[in-house]
Structure 1
Amino acid sequence: MRVAVVGATGNVGTAVLRELGRREEVDAVLGLARRLPDTDADPYAAASWRTVDIGREESTETLVDAFTGVDAVVHLAWLIQPNSKRDLLRRVNVDGTARVLAAAAEAGVERICVASSIGAYSPVDDDEPRDESWPVEGVRSSHYSVDKAAQERLLSEFAATHPEVALSWLRPGLIFQEDAGAEIQRYFAGTWVPVQLLDRVRPPFVPLPAGVRTQVAHADDVARAYAEAIVRGARGPFNICSDEVLDAEAIAGIVGTGRTVPLPPAAIRPFLTAAHRARVLPMDAGWLDMAMGAPLLDTGRAKRELGWEARVSGSDALRILLDGMAEGRGASSTPMRPRTGAPADPTALPPEDHVVPETVDATLLRQYLSDHILGATGGMDRITAMAEECADTPVFADLSTVAEAIRQEHAFLTALTERQGFLAPGVSAPLARVGEKLARFKPYGRPPGKRSPSSLLLETEFMLMAVTGKEHGWLTMREHAAELGVAPEVFDGLLEDAREQKRILGDVHAYARARVFRT
C-alpha cells in the first residue's frame, strides 16, 4: 500500500509517519506540507516529499498529480493560527479539505482518512459519554470548532456522493506527545508562560476553570487509529481518546501538588480575551468555550471496528507532554521545532575538553561570538515575524524555510560559544529582542493593523544585509576553525546555507518589489 499524508510535519503527522514506517502493509509514504522538514532526520527520512499549500486554488492540480498511484490518503493539514486571519484559516481548513477530497477522487484514491476533532461536536452540559451520533454543529464562539463543523459537513457530503471511496474521519480529544512540547506552548501558552520551570518547580495551587474535565490521547495511539482506518478501509466517524477522564483535581495533581483553585469560566473569559488582544496569549476565549462544552467521548466504535484501544493513559499522556514542555522538546520540522531551535549537531562542535589556545585573545573571541549570537537572535525574530505576517501569501514557505535555517544557526552558535567556555549573552539578548520588536512598529505608510506592501520589501532588504554580514562571519570563523576546534567543512556548509538563504530572499524581494507601490 502506498500512502500520502497531507500535513505530515505536525504533531499528529509526525506520529503517523512513525506508525506507517512500522506497518508491513505500507510499502511507501509520500509526505505533503507547505514547509518541508529535515528530510535526513527521523521519521521524515523514511518518506518522499512534495510541497503544497492546500489553501491556494491552484493546489488542486498539484494534489491530483501527487495522489496519482496512491492507495490511501491521510489528511491532517490544519491551520490553528493566526487567529486574526479568519479568511486564511477558512481557506486552508475548510476549502483545503474540499480540495484534498476532490483531488483524491479524481486521482482514483480508494481510501481516505481525515482529521476531524472533538471540537466539531455540539456542546453538552453533563458528563454522559457521547458516541459518534451526537450532533456536530460546533461551538459558535470558537473559530476552530466552527471550521471543524463545516469540515464535517463536507465529509458527509463527499461520503454520500462518492460511495466508491472508503472515507473515514477521526474525532480525537487532546493529542499529546513529548516532542510536541514546544509546539503546544507556542500555539496556546505563548512565550510568557514559564513552562520550562515545570521540571524543577510544581505550583502549590493550579487555577483551573470550575467544572473542567477532559480526555486526551497520546499521539502514537492516535497514529495507530489512522493506520488502522486506512488498512481496514473503514468508513464514517470514530471517537479516539483515552477512556480516562481528567478533572480539575486530577490535572492539578499532575501539574502541581494536587490543589486546585476553581475559577468561574465567566470570570476567566474576559482575561483570556484581553491577554489575547495584547498578544500575551496566542489562544483566544473561544478555546475556553469549546473546552467547557465538549462532550466526553465513547470510543466503543473504534474498539469494535478498528480493533483500537488507547495504550497510554490520559494521565501519562499529560505527564509526557509536561516533560516535553519543560524541556522545550520538538522534532526536525518547522511546526514541531524545539523551543530553542534545533539541537546543534554534536559532531559539528568542538570536543568537550576543547580549550581556547593561548595565542587567541579570549576576550575578543568571546565578544565576536556574542555579537553574532545577538545578530542571529534579532534576525531569527524578524524573519519569524515576517513569515507569520505573510502566512496568506505565496512567499510564506520561503520565509519559513529561511527562518528555520536561522533558528538552527542560532542553536549552533550558542552551543559553539558554550564549548569555548564562554557564557551566552546575558541582558543583551533580551534587549536585542525588544529592540527588534520596537523596530517593527513602523507603519510603512499604513494605519496600525493594516499591512503595507512596502513592509515586506524593506524587511527583506534588511534580512539580505543581515545574511550578507553573517556570510562574512562564517568566512572569518572558517579561517580560525582550528582555534575554535571545529572542522573547516562545518563552516563551508554554513556558507553554502547563507548563499541559499540569499537566493531565497532574492525571490521574496522580486515578489515584493513587483507589488510595493500598489494603491
Structure 2
Amino acid sequence: MRVAVVGASGNAGTALLHALRGERGIEVVGISRRAPDSTAEPYDTVVRWEQVDIATPVALAEGEDFVVDRLAEAFEGADAVVHLAWLIQPNRQREVLRRANVDGTRRVVEACRRAGVGHLVVASSVGAYSPVTDDEPREESWPTHGSAPTSHYAVDKAAQERVLDEAEEAGLAVARVRPALIFDADAGAEILRLFVGALVPPGMLRPGALPALPLPAGLRLQVVHGDDLADVYRRILLQRATGAFNVATDPVLRGQDLADVLDHGRVLPVPVSVLRPMVSLAWQAHAVAADPGWLDMALRVPVMDASRARRELGWEPRVGAQDALRELLVGMAEGQGTASPPLRPRESWPRDQQPPGAVHPDGLLGREDDSPAHRVPAHLERDILGLYLSDHLTGATAGLERAERMSAAYADTDVGEDLERVALEIREERELLKDLIDSLELRRRPYRQAAAWLAEKAGRLKVNERPEGSPLTPLLESELMRSAVMGKLGLWQVLTELSDDLGLPAPLFEALARQARDQAATYERVHQHIVGEVFRDGHVD
C-alpha cells in the first residue's frame, strides 16, 4: 500500500510517520514545502521526499496550475493521500493563509483526481463546527459553518469542508478527521513560535512557574496527544474508512484543570470583555503571535463526542488530557523539536529570533522577531532574496504603466492586440510576484514601488519638454520595454534555479521565462512598426 502524506514534515505528519513505521507493506511518499533531514527518525521511513509548496501563487494567463501537476506526479501510484498541511502564520496576510489552506486543499483534491487516487484523508478541526453556547457533546453531524467569523482558522476550516463536500459529490472517498487541540513535546518550539511569539520568556510556560492563571470565564478545552491522533489516521488508512471522525481525549479541561497544571492551582477569572481587548492590543503590538480570533474560537467551539472513532475504528487514546498538556508545556519551555524545518528546536533558531531569556548555543541572547518561521531556508540569503524580488516588483510597477499606455495608444493598429495581451500578462506577473513575496514572508518595500509609479508618471511630462510627448517617445518606450522584459527573464531563471530550495514548481518559472521571450519578440515587432512612422515620415523636431 502506497500512501502520500501532504505536510509530512509537520507535527501531525511527523507523528503519522512514527505510527506507520512499524506497519508492514506500507510505503510512504512525503510531501512538504521543505524536506526534513531524511536520515533522522521518523523521516527516514519515507521512500522519497517531494518538495511542493501548495500555497504557490499561480497567475499565468493560460491558467495552468503547476502545483496540481507537481502534486499529481507525487501521488502517482498512491492508494491513499493524507492531507495534513495547514498554514497558521503569517496571520497578518489573510490571502496567503487562504491560498495555502483552502485553495491548497482544492489543489490536493484535483491532484487526487488526476492521479487516480481513490481515498483521501484530510485534517479538519473542531474549529470547523458551528458555534454553541452549551457543553452538550456534539457528534460529527453537527453543522460545519465555522465557530467564529473573526477566526481565520475557523473560517478556512469551514471553507475546506465545502471543498471536501464537492470532492465527495464527484465520487472521491473522503475521510475527515476533526481533532481537538493537538499537544505533544515535539511541537513545543513550533507552538511557541506560532502562538506565543518572541517576547514571552519560555520559562514562564513551565508547569508551576506562574503564581496564578488568568483565564476567560467559561473556557473549556479538549485536547489529544499527537501520537493518539496519528493512530486515528493509521486506522483510517488500514480500514479505508470514510466520513467524519471527532478525535479528543477525556476529560474536557476546564479552568481548574488548567490551573492545576499551569500554576499552583489558583485560577484568576477574567471577563472576556476585558481579556479580548488585551489580546488584540498585544497582537497588534507584535507582543504575541496569536490573533484574538483564536480566543473567539475557543469560547464558541462545541464539546466533541469522539465515540464514533472508538466504536468504528477501535481507537483508544493512551495519553490523558492533563498529561498531554503537561508534556506540551515542558516541550515549549525547553524548546523541543525534531529534524524538520517547521518543528526545528528553539536552539537551532537564528540568534536574532530567540525569545527573551533563551540562550543561544553561542551564548548570546535573542531579540524580538515577528516571524521566526521564515519560509526561506536558512542556507539561502533571505535578505538578499527579499531585496532582489522587491526590486523586480518595483520594475514591474513602472513597466506595467508603460505597457498599458502603449497598449491603449496602439489599440487600433495591427500590433494593438499583441500589446494588449502583453500588458495583461505583465499585470498578472506583477500580482504573482507580489503574492510570491508574501508567501515567502519577505518585505515588499512598497515605498519603492510608489516611487517608481510616481517617477514613471513624471517622466511622461519631460520628454522633449512637451506635455503631449514626442514622436520619439513610442520608439524609446518600445526599446525600454524590450530591455525590461529581457531583464525580467533573468528573474524567472533565478527562481527556476532556486525552486527546489524554496519548494516552488520549476515549470511555473520556466513557462514565465518562455513568456518573457515572447513578450520581447512582441516589442521587437512594435519597434519595427514604429521606426517607419517616426523617421520616414519626418516627425522628429
Which of 173, 196, 211 is residue 204 of structure 1 equivalent to? 211
Q: 2:265 corresponds to which residue?
A: 258
Q: Is the partner of 2:269 in helix, strand or coil?
A: strand
| 1:100 corresponds to | 108
Q: Runs ≥4 in structure 1, deviation > 3 angstroms?
A: 197-201, 372-378, 399-404, 441-445, 450-453
Q: Distance in 1 between matches of 2:450 and 2:168?
A: 40
Partner residue of 2:344? 337
CA distance in 1, matches of 2:243, 2:443: 51
When residues 194 and 377 of structure 1 are mapped into structure 2, their CA distance, relative to the original with a 3 A threshold, is: closer
Q: Matches of 1:246 and 1:10 in 2, distance apart? A: 25
Match of 1:154 in 2: 163
Residue number in structure 2 paired with 1:479: none
Aligned to 1:49: 49
- Aligned amino acid, residue 76 of structure 1: L
2:76 is equivalent to residue 77 of structure 1: no
Per-residue CA deviation, residues 368-418 of structure 1 (Å, 9 max, x unaligned), is xxxx9599979x979x76x74xxxxxxx44x455489xxxxxxxxxxxxxx
Cα distance change, pair 92–256 in 1 and its aligned pair in 2 (3 A)? same
> Which residue is equivalent to 2:195?
188
Amino acid at match of 2:163: L
- Equivalent in 129, 144, 153 of residue 136 of structure 1: 144
Report the equivalent of 2:7: 7
Alignment of 1:92-491 (within 5 A): 92-138=100-146, 139-162=148-171, 165-199=172-206, 202-341=209-348, 373=362, 388=374, 396-397=375-376, 399-402=377-380, 446=447
Contact 1:176–1:321 (Cα < 8 Å) also in 2: yes
Q: Which amino acid aligns with 2:85?
A: A
Cα displacement (A) at 1:23 = 1.7
Q: Distance in 1 between matches of 2:93 and 2:132?
A: 29
What letter is aligned with 1:82? P
Q: 1:330 to 1:137 in 2, by over 3 A?
A: same
Change (3 A) 1:451 1:40: farther
Q: Specify the SS of the correspondent of 1:335.
A: coil
- Provide the aligned C-alpha RMSD in A: 3.3
Shift of residue 196, structure 1, vs aligned partner? 2.4
Inter-partner Cα distance in structure 1 for 2:208 and 2:2 = 47
TM-score norm. by structure 1 comes to 0.68
Alpha-carbon distance between aligned partners in 1 of 2:339 and 2:443, rounded to the nearest angstrom: 33
Question: Would you say how many aligned residue pairs link Structure 1 and Structure 2?
Answer: 383
The answer as to whether partners of 2:220 and 2:252 remain within 8 angstroms in 1 is yes
Matching residue of 1:499: none
Aligned to 2:458: none
Cα distance in 1 between the residues matched to 2:446 and 2:99 = 28
**Against the structure 1 CA distance between its residues 123 and 445, is the aligned structure 2 distance closer, same or farther, given a 3 Å change threshold?**
closer
User: Are residues 14 and 377 of structure 1, via their aligned partners in 2, closer, same or farther at CA, if it must alter by over 3 Å?
Assistant: same
Task: Identify the range of structure 1 (12-21 vs 190-199) with the bigger mean alpha-carbon deviation.
Answer: 190-199
Give the equivalent residue in structure 2 for 1:467: none
Partners of 1:231 and 1:452 lie apart in 2 by 59
After superposition, give the CA deviation of every residue in 1:278-326 in whole Å (9 maximum; x if it has no partner).
Answer: 1111111100000000110101111111111211110110011011112
1:66 to 74, 93, 99: 74
Q: Given the superposition, is the C-alpha separation of residues 205 and 233 from structure 1 closer, same or farther in structure 2, using an over 3 Å criterion?
A: same
Query: d(CA) in 2 for partners of 1:289 and 1:272?
Result: 11
Q: Deviations over 1:5-40 (max 9, x none)?
A: 0001111111011111122241x1111011111111
Q: Deviations over 1:324-360 (max 9, x none)?
A: 11211001111101111189xxxxxxxxxxxxxxxxx
Q: Measure, in 1, the Cα distance between the counterparts of 2:130 and 2:8.
A: 28
Q: Matched residues in 2 for 1:178 and 1:295: separation?
A: 26
**Residues 445 and 201 of structure 1, relative CA distance in 2, 3 Å threshold:** same
Secondary structure (helix, strand or coil) at the match of 1:136 reads: coil
Q: 1:342 to 1:231 in 2, by over 3 A?
A: farther
Are the structure 2 counterparts of residues 270 and 198 from structure 1 closer, same or farther at C-alpha, using a change threshold of 3 Å? Answer: closer
Matched-pair contact (CA < 8 Å) for 2:140–2:245: yes
Correspondence for 1:438: none
Aligned CA distance change for structure 1 residues 235 and 311 (closer, same or farther; 3 Å): same
Quickly say closer, same or farther: Cα 1:188–1:241, change in 2 above 3 A: same
Residue 237 of structure 1 and its aligned partner are, at CA, apart by 0.8
For residues 12 and 150 of structure 1, the distance between their equivalents in structure 2, rounded to whole angstroms, comes to 21
AA aligned to 1:309 is E
8 Å contact kept, 1:112–1:230: no
CA contact (8 A) 2:208 2:261 kept: no
Helix, strand or coil: the match of 2:132?
Answer: coil
- Answer yes or no: is the 8 Å Cα contact 2:207–2:262 preserved in 1: no
Identify if the C-alpha distance between structure 1 residues 125 and 403 changes in structure 2 by more than 3 Å, giving closer, same or farther. farther
Q: Give distance in 1, aligned partners of 2:227 and 2:3.
A: 18
Q: 1:109 to 1:31 in 2, by over 3 A?
A: same
CA distance in 2, matches of 1:301, 1:109: 25
Normalising by structure 2, report the TM-score. Answer: 0.66
Check whether the contact 1:215–1:242 (CA below 8 A) recurs between aligned residues: yes
Larger Rg: 2
Does the C-alpha gap of structure 1 residues 81 and 342 become closer, same or farther in structure 2, counting only changes over 3 Å?
Answer: closer
Cα displacement (A) at 1:204: 2.1
Report which stretch shifted further, 55-64 or 241-250: 55-64
- CA contact 2:187–2:328 (8 Å) conserved in 1: yes
Secondary structure of the 1:4 match is strand
Structure 1 444/262 Cα, relative in aligned 2: closer, same or farther at 3 Å? same
Structure 1 residues not aligned, in runs of 5+: 344-371, 389-395, 405-440, 454-502
Percent same amino acid among aligned pairs? 48
Aligned mates of 2:206, 2:264 — CA distance in 1: 13
Say if 1:451 and 1:97 are closer, same or farther in 2 by CA, change over 3 A.
farther
Q: Find the aligned partners of 2:18 and 2:241 in 1 and give their Cα distance.
A: 21
Residue type of the partner of 2:55? G
C-alpha contact (below 8 Å) 1:175/1:219 kept by paired residues: yes
Preserved contact between residue 190 and residue 342 of structure 2 (Cα < 8 Å): yes
Unpaired runs of at least 5, structure 2:
57-64, 351-360, 383-441, 453-496, 503-508, 517-541
